[in-house]
Amino acid sequence: MFELILASASPRRLALLQDLGFKVSSKPQDIDETPLQDEDPEDLVTRLALTKARSALDSLESRDQRLVLGSDTIVLCDGQILGKPVNKATAYAMLRLLSGRQHHVITAVALLDYQREAVELSKTAVSFRTLRDDEIESYWETGEPADKAGAYAIQGLGGMFISEINGSYSGVVGLPIFETASLLAQFHVDTSSILKSCHE
User: Active site residue: 38, 72, 133, 134, which one?
Assistant: 72
Q: Is 74 helix (H, G, I), strand (E, B) or coil?
A: strand
User: What angle do the packed helices 133-141 and 88-98 form, to 10 degrees?
Assistant: 130
Separation CA 145–CA 196 (nearest Å):
37
Handedness of CA 95, 96, 97, 103 (dihedral sign): positive
Rounded to a whole number of angstroms, the CA Rg of the chain reads 17
Burial of 68 (0-12, 13-18, 19+ CB in 10 A): buried
The answer to whether the CB of 189 falls within 8 A of the CB of 67 is: yes
Pairing of strands 3-6, 23-26: parallel
Active site residue 72: yes
Separation CA 115–CA 121 (nearest Å):
21
Separation CA 101–CA 26 (nearest Å):
35
Catalytic sites, residue numbers: 72
